[in-house]
Amino acid sequence: MDEIKRRIINVFDKMFPKAFCELNYRNHFELLVAVILSAQTTDKAVNKVTKNLFQKFSTPEEFACASVEAIENEIKHLGLYKNKAKNIKKMSQMLIKQYYSKIPDTMDLLIKLPGVGRKTANVMLSEAFSKSAFAVDTHVERVSKRLQIAEETDSLIIVERKLNAYFPEELWSKLHHQMIFFGRYHCLARNPKCNICDLKNVCKYYIENKI
């Protein structure tokens, strides 16, 4: 393992040794709904919504039987709530019809569910099924590009592939959470905390802006 890679891992371990999924859920299905809702929305906002949402609807059967309007009413404070409501209802119907209400545990099957892309599928694989996966959200993407693991023009799938190639597979799930925490609380999109960052010397953002 090269020096820079080891340094990145060590800094993440030091800063966020117990990084975790901040979405609130009680089972795999609730996690899937919460992750779908989290697109372009903060986990904090999702948790506020799901506190009441999951009291009304908490199973595929309950969501499948609910009207889209009823689901919309519960999640209307989130971005893209109309599309999310439609997808969650369709996803619930598909789970019942094709998977006996069980969440599939492979990438190929997960991404066939309405509203589920690679990021959501990777979160499910890692968080629900304890499989090695590197979900790339906006924080992971930003941190990867600033630390020069990926190029600025790389798509999300290319960023994911480069992360998978760069870090040992057994660390993917832990690093995924650590990179989210690093991006959410330290390496912010605006006004990142470069002055107290132990990785600034390998950070493209810091080097180019000479903060």
Q: Which two tokens stand for residue 155?
A: 């798509």
131 annotated active-site: no
- Exactly one of 13, 18, 112, 119 is catalytic; name it: 119
Phi, psi of 186 (to 5 degrees): -135, -60
Taking alpha carbons only, the member of 83, 95, 21, 81 closest to residue 49 is 81
Decide if 204 contacts 194 (C-beta within 8 A). no
13 annotated active-site: no
- Exactly one of 89, 137, 162, 174 is catalytic; name it: 137
Tell me which residues are annotated as active site: 119, 137
